[in-house]
Amino acid sequence: MTPALPVAMTIAGSDCSAGAGIQADLKTFQHFHVHGLTAITCVVAETANLVRAVHPVPVAMVCDQIELLLESFPVAAVKTGMLFSAAHVSAVAAIFRQHRELRLVVDPVMIASTGTSLLEPDALPAYRELLLPLACLITPNLPEAEALLGTPITDEAMLEDAAWRLSRQFGTAILMKGGHLPGEECLDLLVDQGALFRFSTPRMAVAGSHGTGCTLSAAITAALARGEALPWAVEQAKNYLGQTLRQSYSFAAPDGGTLHALNQGTMLVKNDT
C-alpha cells in the first residue's frame, strides 16, 4: 500500500500564463512530493509582461473551497498568495482563526512584477489586523514590507531592522526577501523564535523570474507540510528557487520569461553529520 502523501493547500489567484499563482504553487508542491490542494481567489489574465484583467472569485465561493478541503483532506500546511480584497482577507482569516493548528504561510501579494496592483487599498488593514497575526511565517518582499511598516527600506541594515520589527508586530516568523536591494548578492533574512538566519546567494542574470515569490512561499509550505523545521524549510526552498531561476526560459516578448519547474527527485538532502 502506497503511504499517503503530505497535503498542502494554496489559496491564491490563477495565472493563465502558469508562471505564478496557483499554477506555480502546484508545480512546486509536486516537486516536493506533496499533494497540492487549491482554493482560487481570482482569475487573472496576465503574463510576465502584463496584467490585463483581474476577476475576483466571490468570497462565499472562496470560503466554500477552503472549508470543503479542510473537511475532506488531512491538510498539514497552507499558504496564501493573492487575496485581492479586504472581504477576501477577512473571510480567510475567519476560517483559519478556527484552525490554529495548521502551519499558515502568508505571502502578502500586493504588486505584480509588472507594477500592477494586485491588492485593493482597503485590504492592507485587514492583512495587518486579521490575517498576519495568524501566520507561522510571513514572506514579504521589500515593497510589501515597506507598505506594512510605512517606512522605506534602502539598505541591509534597514532590511534586518524591518524583519525584527515585523516579527515583533505580528508575533510570528518573518522571511524578509531582499532581492530588490542593489548589490552582487541577494540577501534574505529569516527571524524565527528570536534568532536571525541569513540566506545569501549571488545575483544571477536569468531568462525569466516571473513567479519567484509564489514559488518560494510554496516550497516553504511544502517543506512544512513534510514536517520540516522552519529554517531548514527555507533553506530547501531557496535551493529549489535557485535551480528554477538558473533553468528559467524566455519567449519572444521582452522579459517574457518564467521559471523552469523541476522534476521530482532533486530535493536538497539534509546532512546532520
pTM of the model: 0.91
- Check whether 54 has a pLDDT greater than 70: yes
Question: CB atoms < 10 A from the CB of 153, how many?
Answer: 22
Rounded distance, CA 117 to CA 252, Å?
Answer: 25
| pLDDT score for 257 | 62
- Check whether 269 has a pLDDT greater than 80: no
- Check whether 237 has a pLDDT greater than 90: yes
| pLDDT score for 104 | 98
| pLDDT score for 265 | 47
| pLDDT score for 266 | 46
- Check whether 262 has a pLDDT greater than 70: no
| pLDDT score for 235 | 95
Per-residue pLDDT tens for 67-118? 999 999 999 999 999 999 999 999 999 999 999 999 999 999 988 766 677 8
Average pLDDT over the chain, rounded to whole? 89
What domains are there in the chain, each with its CATH number?
7-246 (3.40.1190.20)
